[in-house]
Amino acid sequence: MKAFLVVGAITSLTLHSSALPDVIPPSTEQDPNDVMTKLQAMSTQALEDAEGAIGRRVPNTCSLRLVSSTLESQTAAVAHNPIPREHMSVPMRKNYIQAAQCLYDSPSKLGAQHGWPTKSRHDDFVAVHVNMTMTIHNTGNFLGWHRYFLHSYETALREECGYRGYMPYWNWFAHRDDVTKSPVFDGSSTSLGGDGEFFYHNGSLGGALAIPLPSGNGGGCIKEGPFAGQKANIGPLLTVFAEFPTVKDIFVPNPHCIRRDLSSYTATHFMTTEMLWNVTLGTASVTIKMLQEELQGGKYPGHFGLHAAGHFVLGGDGTDLFSSPNDPAFFLHHAMVDRIWWIWQALHPTLAATIEGTVTLNNDPPSRNATIDDLLDTKGLAPPVALKEVFSTLGGGPLCYAYV
């Protein structure tokens, strides 16, 4: 079996056969959180074995040995471990919230340059995502572009707003039965706000409007917690229920409160053990093409991937393909998407640097194939880098982190 570590370029190494032992697919009754814990351990072991095989030939720029074990014990400027939100200390949660709110309160840096109606620094991130939507979803660069987008957001939190930690992730598989109990959404002073105010709507439609979802208990403005009543200025451009008005494009300013309709129905029906296994070691993990199609969702009628499901667990602003970064939980959601890809890369090292797809959403309009040398364009959020530079999170590019 092989695993990889990137230091300047992808390096494949032959490992001991024990690095990735034969595993039996879990039963559908097994808790996906337990399965995720095992997959995490397998991935870390594979990378540790690869690093051990390289030994002293690895430059001390970034490695698992240099990446510290918790957010609070960071010492290196770039080495860090993203951790689940529920494992962050109270001071670090509050520090993260203060930094995220700082971006909402700070003036835009990109609006005047691009002619966007952005008012805040957070709007800059929303506007970039809106502007790039048709070239970063169901494309060959989907996973890599969003990985770099997260890096850009984390950098802004740290360098512009005094955040001392690193990008946490929302563990989808905890609190599936009642999403409002998650430390991300429980409405407490250390959460990212709770559900929306009750707003009558007759359900919503996901999966290219082919998957009917029942209404939750929200639908209106975030009602409690640090982001209660938080305003956004861009979008939404697509609606998931008729009572949520949209705008026609990014150039139409639309000041509005951020809406949520937290959906435990979506979490329990689509964030399952079967779906997790399928994209990591199951049938959909065999190629990057199959992984992307299964993870993103929308490829098959009536099918949600884990990525799409996360957006529809959020409801409201979080469901808009274009302006979903309006909701601060977008970034924790995509950190979990990135974690899935990170695990897949560790467990499928010979495929870790592969891509599949064109440069337009669902190849519409028809376009060329994406390449690993394509530049990741964030419209000024961060310097352009080649897609291949973000394949590894352990050196050789702008990234240095490992998931725990």
Tens of pLDDT along 72-114? 344 333 334 566 667 788 899 999 999 999 999 999 999 999 9
Report which of residues 130 and 3 the model is more confident about.
Answer: 130
> Average pLDDT over the chain, rounded to whole?
85
Q: Report CA-CA distances (Å) from 57 to 53, 206, 258, 401.
A: 9, 49, 50, 20
> CA-to-CA distance for 124 and 371, rounded, in angstroms?
27
Tokens read off for 196 = 């929306």
Per-residue model confidence (pLDDT) at position 126: 98
328, 316 contact by CB (below 8 A): no
Per-residue model confidence (pLDDT) at position 120: 98
Where does residue 363 rank: exposed (0-12), middle (13-18), buried (19+ CB within 10 A)? middle
CA neighbor of 108 nearest in space, from 126, 95, 96? 126
Tally of residues, the chain: 404
Tokens read off for 21 = 């032992």
Per-residue model confidence (pLDDT) at position 8: 24
Report which of residues 324 and 90 the model is more confident about.
Answer: 324
Residues 6+ apart with CB under 8 A from 85: 93, 168, 169, 170, 171, 182, 183, 184, 332
Residue-wise pLDDT for 289-317, tens only, equals: 999 999 987 566 677 899 999 999 999 99
Q: Report CA-CA distances (Å) from 279 to 41, 275, 348, 395.
A: 16, 7, 11, 25
Per-residue model confidence (pLDDT) at position 208: 67
Per-residue model confidence (pLDDT) at position 51: 75
Per-residue model confidence (pLDDT) at position 54: 52
Q: Report CA-CA distances (Å) from 341 to 306, 307, 324.
A: 12, 11, 20
Tokens read off for 394 = 């352990």
What is the percentage of the chain residues whose pLDDT exceeds 70? 84
Q: Is cis: bond before 236, omega within 30 of 0?
A: yes
Residue 332 identity: L
Per-residue model confidence (pLDDT) at position 16: 32
204, 316 contact by CB (below 8 A): no
| pLDDT over 60 at 5, yes or no | no
Place of tokens 């203060």: 98
Which of 166-175, 177-186, 236-245, 311-320 is the least confident region?
236-245
Report which of residues 66 and 353 the model is more confident about.
Answer: 353
Residue-wise pLDDT for 353-397, tens only, equals: 999 999 999 999 999 999 999 999 999 999 999 999 999 998 778
DSSP string, 244-273: S---SSTTS---EEPB----HHHHHHHS-H
Tokens read off for 164 = 């001392």
CA neighbor of 148 nearest in space, from 404, 392, 403? 392
Phi/psi-derived region of residue 13, left when phi > 0, alpha when psi is between -120 and 50, beta in every other case? beta
10, 353 contact by CB (below 8 A): yes
Per-residue model confidence (pLDDT) at position 15: 32
Per-residue model confidence (pLDDT) at position 395: 74
Per-residue model confidence (pLDDT) at position 26: 86
Q: Helix, strand, coil shares of the chain as percentages rounded to 5?
A: 40, 10, 50
Helix (H) or strand (E) holding 187: none
pLDDT category of residue 69 using cuts at 50, 70 and 90 = very low
Per-residue model confidence (pLDDT) at position 320: 93
Residue-wise pLDDT for 262-287, tens only, equals: 999 999 999 999 999 999 999 999 99
Report which of residues 288 and 62 the model is more confident about.
Answer: 288
> CA-to-CA distance for 129 and 125, rounded, in angstroms?
6
CA neighbor of 69 nearest in space, from 172, 183, 159, 166? 166
Q: How many CB atoms lie within 10 A of CB 113?
A: 12
340, 280 contact by CB (below 8 A): yes
| pLDDT over 80 at 187, yes or no | yes
Per-residue model confidence (pLDDT) at position 289: 95
pLDDT category of residue 19 using cuts at 50, 70 and 90 = very low
> CA-to-CA distance for 150 and 107, rounded, in angstroms?
20
CA neighbor of 305 nearest in space, from 133, 126, 143? 143
